[in-house]
Chain A
Amino acid sequence: MKNIGDPLPRVDGPAKVTGAARYAYEWQVPGMAYAVLVTSNTARGRVLEVDASAATREPGVLAVLTPQNAMRLPGPTQGEPPDRVVQALQDDRVYFSNQPVAVAVADTFERAVHAALMVRIRSEPARHTVRLEDELANAVPHDLIAGGRSIPADEARGDVARGLREADARVEQTYETPPETHNPMEPHATVAVWEAPDRLTVYDSTQWVFAVQRKLARAFAMPKENVHVIAKFVGGAFGSKGSPWSHVLLTAMAAKQVGRPVKLALMRPHMFGMVGGRPHTRQKLALGARKDGRLTALSHQSASATSRFDVFVEGCALQARHLYACPNIESKHRIVRLDIGTPTFMRAPGEASGSFALESALDELAVALDLDPLELRLKNHAEKDPIEDRPFSSKSLRACYAEGARRFGWEKRSARPRAQTREGMLVGMGMATAAYPGNFAPAQALARMNADGTALVQSGMLEVGNGAYTVMRQVAADALGLPVEKVRFDLGDSTMPEAPITAGSISTASVGSAVLLVCRALRQRLEQMGASGAASYAEVVQRAGGAPIEERSKAAPGEERKRYTMLGHGAQFAEVLVDPELGMVRVARLVGAFACGRVLNARLARSQLMGGMVWGIGMALHEHSVYDEKLGRIISRDLADYHVASNADVQSIEPILVEEEDTVVDPAGVKGMGEIGTCGAAAAIANAVFNATGRRIRSLPITPDNLL
């Protein structure tokens, strides 16, 4: 029996197409009250007074929490990074615009909204800055957290200055990516129910029930077992739900203060600032190469914005450490403190923004050398990790280049810009390399064989669109030798075995490995008890008294992570059509070939990759959290002003799965695919725009005004 690799339709499909899937806000508890946030309109300063007198006189209004009357939390609101610093009305400081400064609670949602509108905030503003350029001089190095581990801000090998001197061609340019906002379709939502004064149940829209549990337990000074967090379906997240933000604590506080269960959903405008975003980056690239295309120097220096009160580092220059063979490499990360909400991991954090700069610079180098951009990359293909000087656990990048180029028809590209037109449009073709780490973090799972021969497998990961319910069932069924119908996989509950954050392409590899190990262990135990094949499981359990037989296991990375560099790779190819008079860009085709270890379910894998590639279109052409510098606030704070790719923006998207076997990366042999589709996609599009127009756009998004 083999289920892994089968394109099994999603087991959660029927629930999702009939409206039965229940997201956080939809859990209903008797006596529910409704909370709505009031946020600051200054970017820095102090709240002098929150006047809620009129609001609290309105019918049905239960309370308005303010910095003055909100309960004092008995414990700290922050844990170890990457847990975020949040604002839970514990003091009067304002750190960024749109920070929560009050919470209106009423017996209906309408009354809570009305009350929130009636709250008057008097504040003392201080001078703020939200412009990266204004603070660049104060940029400081900072280590990063990526894939669950700490990584040094700077790494280098050889002598970049010498490498540049020895080069026949050089590219030294600055690239910029704008602040972006995740905007999952489901706004963040929390339902808090105090079962007893020291026992809390929370339904939350989160990527990590255990982080929510720890944060609430810490803040309310309770044992973590007293906090039960449930999240059966999450309506998209992309990193923005990886950390429990202010509203989670505020909802629990409100429920405690009004003595009723409380539900709160952020309104879309609230999602711009207080729940993270991709930070603004400024990246300096310096490349040098010999005439034949071989790199002599590669320098990637990134400065990214963070808040005044917390740190997030966008790992833009990480891939420069592992991607190309070059004797002289340097990679540096700086942070710039601004009066903004703390940015956070956003789909392909670091790699998406960084690959735009690096892969655009390589395209410029190809032009300078008069080489084909694909050939330039092949000439610098790294057979081993250039900085760590160690092998890759697996690497099928050459196959990705070849397969992608063939399907795309790369040989039809003209090297000369503005050489091709179609129906009055300029046609351009561009490409870029994609890479994303094969992350693996400790994960636990349990497997239980029931007396009827069905199995239950659990791990506290999340279903955020990734297909967790489906692939984990496939992995379990395979390891147990059962048909998928006889296996149930359950997730999204803090009483289950602990799983890592469902983010960073960690989850399928890590939990998949834990599920594989625990199901193998259960099978072995059943065989020891006399089972011979799956058909006899029921009989064995019944013979032993009928109580379910249970195993628990943990999968964790080991020493192999020090001996190998582990990356998924890909090659992105874009064809754009540019209106020569209006400067409008359309992405006619995106072809991406990816090699990410074992594919558990081709249908799900392809859809993850397509999603990532469409994010590349958004990044290249649309997305921008626009700040009003004077007010210090994001003004594109709804989905009319913050543009994401819509159906009409998408034409042909073709992901290709390149076979790859990796026996080292993790027991499941999987490198996650949630992010890699976005890596390199914006660069491939920007490079295609250059090929179409002869205009090199080094600052995203590429809007028509850039091309006129």
Chain B
Amino acid sequence: MTSVTVTVNGASKTHQVEPRLLLVHYLRETLSLTGTHVGCDTGQCGACTVLLDGAAVKSCSLFAVQADGRSVTTIEGLAKDGKMHAMQDAFWQEHGLQCGFCTPGMILSACEILERNPRASEAEIRTGLEGNLCRCTGYHNIVKAVQAAAQKAR
């Protein structure tokens, strides 16, 4: 067992974990933050996307120990003071979700896209979200939601 200390959604957490514990299972099983989903186990679907020091990463492809000393934001940490993040609100209002399973990862990836480039074009949004699959499949409204959130931030 190894000790890890991770700042998750602003709060410092310390746990003894097995070195082979994946970050996604640390979040889901140890911390009960089940909004981060497991879709493919191999880094292709993006359902497990979280922000690691602000960068969108696939938490199924990282060990918990790799997050030691770093900061993780999950979907549960996006709302502030009971108020939804603009991206969350936009996904709801623009109907950028159906079954909702890809939604948390999609939202966090979208946050990072706008963080890097608040004026991302439609094509840049589509390419930026290429690593987040939606099978239902709501890509059209997802892009609209990201655009709406960008508009609001300006």
Enumerate chain A interface residues (CB-CB to B < 8 A).
Answer: 9-10, 12-23, 25-26, 28, 108-110, 114, 183-187, 233-238, 265, 267-268, 463-467, 603-604, 607-608, 610-611, 614-615, 638-640, 644-648, 650, 653
Within B93-136, the residues touching A (CB, 8 Å) are 93, 95, 97-104, 107, 125-127, 129-130, 132-136
B residues in contact with A25, CB < 8 Å: 38
Given known contacts A268-B39, A644-B135, A650 and B140 CB-to-CB distance under 8 angstroms: yes
Residue B2 at the chain A interface, CB threshold 8 Å: no
| Residues on B facing A (Cβ under 8 Å) | 18, 20-21, 25, 28-29, 32-42, 44-45, 47, 74-76, 78-79, 84, 88-89, 91-93, 95, 97-104, 107, 125-127, 129-130, 132-143
Given contacts A611-B137, A650-B126, contact A267 B101 (CB under 8 A): no
B39 pairs with A610, CB closer than 8 A: no
In the assembled complex, the Cα of A4 lies from the Cα of B10 at a distance in Å of 43
In Å, the complex CA distance between A607 and B141 comes to: 8
Write out the residue numbers on chain A whose beta carbons fall within 8 Å of the beta carbon of B141: 607, 610
Are B100 and A233 touching (Cβ within 8 A)? yes
* A15 to B91 alpha-carbon distance, docked (Å): 12
Known: A611-B136, A614-B139. A648 touches B126 (CB 8 A): yes
Contact partner of A650 (CB less than 8 A), chosen from B84, B102, B139, is B139
Pair A12/B100 contact, Cβ less than 8 Å: yes
Please name all residues of chain A whose beta carbon is closer than 8 Å to the beta carbon of B140 when the two chains form the complex. Answer: 610, 614, 650, 653
18 new A-B contacts at CB < 8 Å, known A187-B38, A610-B141:
A9-B93, A13-B92, A13-B95, A18-B75, A18-B79, A23-B101, A25-B38, A185-B39, A463-B99, A607-B136, A608-B98, A610-B140, A611-B137, A639-B133, A640-B44, A644-B133, A647-B126, A647-B129
Q: Name the prevailing secondary structure of the B interface residues.
A: loop
| Smallest CB-CB A-B distances: 9 pairs | A19-B35, A235-B101, A465-B99, A16-B100, A465-B98, A13-B92, A19-B75, A639-B44, A26-B34
Question: What's the Cα separation between A108 and B139 when bound, in Å?
Answer: 36
Does B37 lie within 8 Å of A235, measured CB to CB?
A: yes
CB-CB under 8 A for A236 and B104, given A19-B36, A185-B133, A268-B40: no
Measured CB to CB, the closest approach of chain B to A22, in angstroms, equals 7
Contact of A607 among B39, B79, B98, B104 (CB under 8 A): B98
Q: Across the interface, which residues of B come within 8 angstroms of A26, CB to CB?
A: 28, 34
Residues in B with CB closer than 8 Å to A653 are: 139-140
Is the Cβ of B92 less than 8 Å from the Cβ of A10? Answer: yes
Assess whether A185 is in contact with B42, with CB atoms less than 8 Å apart: no
User: 26 A-B pairs, CB-CB below 8 angstroms?
Assistant: A14-B92, A16-B97, A16-B100, A17-B97, A18-B79, A18-B84, A19-B76, A20-B35, A28-B32, A184-B99, A185-B47, A185-B133, A185-B134, A186-B99, A235-B37, A236-B98, A237-B99, A603-B95, A607-B141, A610-B140, A611-B98, A639-B40, A639-B44, A644-B133, A645-B139, A653-B140
Determine which of A108, A238, A463, A607 lies in contact with B135 in the assembled complex, contact meaning CB atoms within 8 Å: A238
Set of chain B residues within 8 Å of A466, measured between Cβ atoms: 98
* A185:B76 contact, CB within 8 angstroms: no
B102 / chain A contacts, CB cutoff of 8 Å = 185
Residues of B near A647 (CB, < 8 A) are 125-127, 129-130, 132, 134, 139, 142-143
Q: Which residues of A contact B74 (CB under 8 A)?
A: 19
User: Interface centre among B29, B32, B33, B99, by most A CB within 10 Å?
Assistant: B99
A212 and B74 CA atoms in complex are apart in Å by: 33
The reply to whether A265 and B130 contact each other, CB–CB distance below 8 Å, is no
Shortest Cβ gap from B25 to chain A (Å): 6
Which chain B positions have C-beta within 8 A of A463?
99
Q: Which residues of A contact B45 (CB under 8 A)?
A: 185, 268, 639
| Residue from A109, A465, A644 with most neighbouring chain B CB atoms (10 Å) | A465
Q: How far is the CA of A21 from the CA of B101 in the complex (A)?
A: 9
Residues of A within 8 A of B138 (CB): 607, 610-611
Q: Would you give the shortest CB distance from B100 to chain A, in whole angstroms?
A: 3
Given contacts A268-B42, A647-B139, contact A17 B18 (CB under 8 A): no
A17 contacts which of B21, B39, B42, B84 (Cβ < 8 Å)?
B84
Inter-subunit contact A236/B75 (CB<8 Å): no
| List of A residues within 8 angstroms of B44 by Cβ | 638-640
> With A16-B103, A19-B75, A639-B44 as given contacts, are A648 and B95 in contact (CB-CB < 8 Å)?
no
Q: For A22, what are the chain B residues with a Cβ–Cβ distance below 8 Å?
A: 34
With A and B bound together, what is the CA distance between A110 and B21 in angstroms?
7
Contacting pair B107 A17 (CB below 8 A) = yes
Q: Which residue of B lies closest to A234 (CB)?
A: B99
Q: Who on chain B is nearest to A13 by CB?
A: B92
- Closest B residue to A32 by beta carbon equals B29
Give the residues in chain B near A645, CB-CB below 8 Å: 137, 139
Q: Complex Cα distance A208/B89, Å? A: 31
Residue on A with the closest CB to B87? A17
Task: Let me know if A236 and B139 touch, CB within 8 A.
Answer: no
Do A13 and B38 form a contact, CB below 8 Å, given A18-B76, A647-B134? Answer: no
Q: Assess whether B34 is in contact with A17, with CB atoms less than 8 Å apart.
A: no
Docked-complex contact A17 and B92, CB < 8 angstroms: yes
> Inside 8 A of A638's CB, which chain B residues have their CB?
40, 42, 44
Known: A9-B93, A18-B35. A615 touches B100 (CB 8 A): no
Contact partners of B33 in chain A: CB under 8 A: 19
Chain B residues positioned under 8 Å from A15 (CB to CB): 100
Query: Do A465 and B42 contact each other (CB < 8 Å), given the known contacts A19-B75, A110-B20, A614-B139?
Result: no
Q: How far is the CA of A608 from the CA of B98 in the complex (A)?
A: 8
Which one, A23, A184, A607, A644, contacts B95 given CB within 8 A?
A607
**Distance between B54 CB and nearest chain A CB, rounded to angstroms:** 19
Q: Which residue of A lies closest to B17 (CB)?
A: A110
B124 to chain A, nearest CB (A): 10
Q: B112 to chain A: closest CB distance in Å?
A: 14
Task: Note all chain B residues with C-beta closer than 8 A to A265.
Answer: 38
Tell me whether A268 and B41 are in contact in the complex, defined as CB-CB below 8 angstroms, given that A17-B84, A19-B75, A611-B136 are known contacts: yes
Q: Determine the residue in chain B with the shortest Cβ distance to A640.
A: B44
Known: A17-B91, A185-B99. A648 touches B40 (CB 8 A): no
Q: Which residues of A contact B104 (CB under 8 A)?
A: 17, 19
- If A18-B84, A185-B47, A647-B143 touch, whether A267 touches B41 (CB-CB below 8 Å) is yes
CA distance A644 to B34 in the complex (A): 25
* B136 A236 Cβ-Cβ under 8 A: yes
Tell me the complex Cα distance, A18–B88, Å: 7
Contact status B98-A19, CB under 8 Å? no
Distance A52 CA – B21 CA, assembled complex (angstroms) = 23
Contacts of A21 in B (CB 8 A): 100
Tell me whether B107 and A185 are in contact (CB under 8 A).
no
Q: In the complex, what's the smallest C-beta–C-beta distance from B153 to chain A, in angstroms?
A: 17
Contacts of A10 in B (CB 8 A): 92, 95, 97
Q: How far is the CB of B133 from chain A (nearest CB, A)?
A: 6
Closest Cβ–Cβ distance, residue B137 to chain A (whole Å)? 4
Chain A residue with Cβ nearest B85: A17
